């Protein structure tokens, strides 16, 4: 493992039911297993109704707050394509943005109270440039045979930007994921890692 030189802040965002909280817990376990100080904060919102959900995970030698301050997120990991636009104020000039290219209509857009933003991919590209990694993780998860592995595919992508060996992620999955689902999630994780050069 390469020692981080400062605290690392990862914002994980999406909508309820996408496995955001599990992804945050796995990242927390990896960092804690490495002996780092790690803090996590979760906002569940209306998770059961497709509402916004996010998790802040921060780790390093000494972390005093679990909440990521504006302009300090090192990575934005988004399970839905429009969420990074909502959270762009959390990014700095080197923030990596990993995004599942999936539109999930909120209650307000589905009922016509609001309009789903147009040209989302173009706007994300403008904001993040070559630090944007936009993938159709849902399609890849379906190809694997389990659509619920979207979160672990994205976590595999995230792992390429984190200072931990692959074995540390495998250990965290073994600790947290039920045995009957471990193999499919290991495949999803490996697939996600393969998507990032």
Confidence check: pLDDT of 53 > 70: yes
Average pLDDT of span 23-48 = 87
Does the pTM exceed 0.85? yes
**What is 124-141 written as a DSSP string?**
HHHHHGGGEEEE-HHHHH
Can you tell me the distance from the alpha carbon of 196 to that of 98, in angstroms, rounded to the nearest whole number?
Answer: 10
pLDDT in tens, 109-145: 566 666 777 889 999 999 999 999 999 999 999 999 9
Question: Higher-confidence residue: 67 or 104?
Answer: 67
Integer Rg of the chain from CA? 16
CB contact set of 146 (below 8 Å; sequence gap of 6+): 184, 188
Phi, psi of 111 (to 5 degrees): -95, 0
The sign of the dihedral angle between the CA atoms of 36, 196, 17, 145 is negative
Beta bridge partners of 107: none
> For position 1, what pLDDT does the model report?
38
């Amino acid at each position: 493992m390469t020692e981080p030189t400062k605290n690392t802040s990862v914002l994980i965002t999406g909508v309820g039911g996408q496995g955001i909280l599990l992804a945050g817990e796995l990242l927390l376990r990896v960092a804690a297993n490495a002996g780092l100080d790690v803090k996590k904060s979760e906002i569940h919102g209306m998770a059961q109704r497709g509402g916004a959900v996010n998790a802040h995970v921060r780790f390093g030698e000494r972390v005093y707050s679990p909440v990521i301050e504006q302009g300090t997120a090192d990575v934005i990991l988004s399970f839905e394509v429009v969420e990074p636009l909502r959270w762009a104020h959390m990014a700095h000039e080197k923030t990596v943005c990993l995004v599942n290219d999936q539109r999930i209509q909120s209650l307000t857009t589905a009922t016509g109270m609001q309009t789903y933003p147009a040209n989302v991919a173009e706007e994300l590209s403008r904001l993040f440039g070559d630090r944007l990694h936009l993938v159709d993780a849902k399609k890849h998860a379906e190809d694997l045979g389990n659509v619920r592995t979207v979160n672990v595919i994205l976590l595999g992508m995230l792992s390429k930007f984190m200072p931990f060996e692959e074995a540390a992620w495998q250990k965290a999955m073994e600790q947290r994921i039920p045995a009957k689902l471990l193999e499919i999630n290991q495949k999803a994780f490996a697939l996600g890692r393969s998507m990032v050069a």
